[in-house]
Amino acid sequence: MRTIVAISLMALFAMTFLFGCASENDPVTAPTIQQGTLDAQPDVYFNDSLAYVDQAGDPMTANYYVYLPNGYSNSGNGYPVLFLLHGFGQDEFFWNQLFKAQNMLDELISTGAIDPMVVVMFSGENAFGGSFYHNGFHPFVGNAQRHIGWMIDEIIDNYNVVDDASQWGIAGHSMGGYGALHYVQDNPGAFASVAALAAPVAHNGTLPNDDTYTGIRELLPAALQETGYDQVLAETGGAGDPAQYQELMEPDPSRPITSMMFALAAAFSPFNPLDPYTPTLIADYGVNIPIAVNGSVDETTFDRWLQDDITTQILAGNPGGLATASIYLDCGLDDDLGLYGAHQVLAGVLDGAGFNIEVDTYYDGFPIVGEGEVPADHATMQWARLEPLLIWLDGNFNE
């Protein structure tokens, strides 16, 4: 299709040049951007099956949104599909609000840079800020990974899409990148293409230059500072205080690192009465966090997190669907959460195992007039990062 469009444009340009229909002073005509639509539907799985409540005990509800390209038809050939999973602390509006996904899709499709596709956006939110798209025992997590499987069936049943994994891609930012990779790992054959943007893809490991990368451990001092428990440690000579530990260690919107810790703990180390492991249990929230009363890393809890770590599973010989998928990775060199190192670790492991990493990009800063160089951190350069991802995915769909 794009070849025909290119030939037609070349012919039009030649005619204009030969017959002098335009002058140097005529304004350049911008391409007409044809707008697609966002179809909103109640997310029955989120609302009824997960049945989350917020920390006040009130029910949480959500819709899912499906981008339908201009000219979408329920008849004829089906469309390829992209699932976009949002990051921690976000919801189903994330990709449009931060990455301007609909505008990007409209532009790329209208200019012929990519073919029309259907794009699915839904919520992985919970009372802690995010489920990490994980199936877990904690009521704030539930069967969150199965939510993705439910969405697959929902899209196949209700939209004109190709029911072929080679025409399906899944991508995510941050928490969503973890969810995308983990779903492909656990469900071989569901998606042929998977992308992770600035994702927590390795909890620890060794960087290629032999500098030790300690993953989530690097965030523990920030959690101690956010909660004020670092002052307790200072006052007690590093011993800590169990009562103040229980009182101060809690999530809050003003404590983003601590809140993410609790979300990870709900997914990977919740309290389970069938497995009553409680050395770092925060009783009011039903989770074990990987911070001991003395402020050190609780290795037993952290080992539980590593059981679900993507890199750890690959090294243990459990690559699942990642062994055959086309993989796309990107991260900023100044990622706020230290995930640059995580991506280096995962990329090294995947490369060493011979997996198909088609793109592995690390973004440097970018200039803004009057502000100098702005570093590429966890969530900057949204447009510049989404565009190549969509073009890469379209190339896979058209192979």
Residue 218 pLDDT class (50, 70, 90 cuts) = confident
Domain end call among 276, 306, 336: 306
Task: Give residue 25's pLDDT.
Answer: 56
Residue 340's H or E segment, with its range, is helix 339-352
Bigger pLDDT: 112 vs 215? 112
- Judged against a pLDDT cut of 90, whether residue 374 lies above it is answered with no
Pairing of strands 205-206, 168-173: unpaired
Reported confidence tier of residue 369, pLDDT bands at 50, 70, 90: confident
Owning domain of residue 77 = 37-202+310-397
- Residue 31: inside a domain: no
* Mean per-residue pLDDT of the chain: 89
Tell me what the mean pLDDT of segment 355-376 comes to: 88
Judge if 56 and 192 occupy the same domain. yes
Q: Which amino acid is at 330?
A: D
Q: In this predicted structure, what is the pLDDT of residue 194?
A: 98
| pLDDT (tens digit per residue) in 46-72 | 999 999 999 889 999 999 999 999 999
Confidence class of residue 278 from pLDDT cuts 50, 70 and 90?
A: confident
Above 50 in pLDDT, residue 1?
no
SS (H, E, C) 198-248: CCCCCCCEECCCCCEECHHHHHHHHHHHHHCHHHHHHHCCCCCCHHHHHHH
Are 194 and 57 part of one and the same domain? yes
298 and 337 co-located in one domain: no
Would you say residue 296 lies in a domain? yes
Q: Domain check: are 114 and 174 in the same one?
A: yes
**pLDDT at position 31 over 90:** no
pLDDT (0 to 100) of residue 179: 98
Residue 176 and residue 237 share a domain: no
At 316-343, the pLDDT tens digits run 999 999 999 999 999 999 998 889 989 9
Domain total of the chain: 2
Is 162 found in the same domain as 86? Answer: yes
Give the lowest-confidence range in 114-118, 178-182, 270-274, 385-389: 270-274
381 shares a domain with 315: yes
pLDDT at 256 over 50: yes
The encoded tokens of residue 333 equal 């060199």
Given 250, 271, 306, which residue is the final one in a domain? 306
Does a structural domain hold residue 379?
yes
pLDDT band at 214 (very low <50, low <70, confident <90, very high): confident
User: What's the Cα-to-Cα distance from 117 to each of 38, 80, 102, 297, rounded to whole Å?
Assistant: 13, 5, 11, 45
Interval 257-265 mean pLDDT: 94
Residue from 60, 29, 30 nearest 47 by CA: 60
Confidence tier at 4 by pLDDT (50, 70, 90): very low
Please check whether residue 90 is in contact with residue 260, taking contact to mean a CB–CB distance below 8 angstroms: no
**Contact in structure between 94 and 122 (CB atoms under 8 Å):** no
Q: Are residues 54 and 100 in the same domain?
A: yes
Model pLDDT for residues 65-106, shown as the tens digit of each residue: 999 999 999 999 999 999 999 999 999 999 999 899 999 999
End position of a domain, from candidates 280, 306, 332: 306
Mean pLDDT of 374-383: 89
Shared domain for 98 and 124, answered yes or no, is yes
- Cβ-contact 228, 255 below 8 angstroms: no
In this structure, are strands 81-85 and 366-368 parallel, antiparallel, or unpaired? Answer: unpaired
CB of 238 closer than 8 Å to CB of 294:
yes
**Residue 257: in which H helix or E strand, if any?**
helix 256-268
Q: Is residue 6 part of a domain?
A: no
66 with 160, same domain?
Answer: yes
pLDDT at 37 over 70: yes
pLDDT at 220 over 90: no
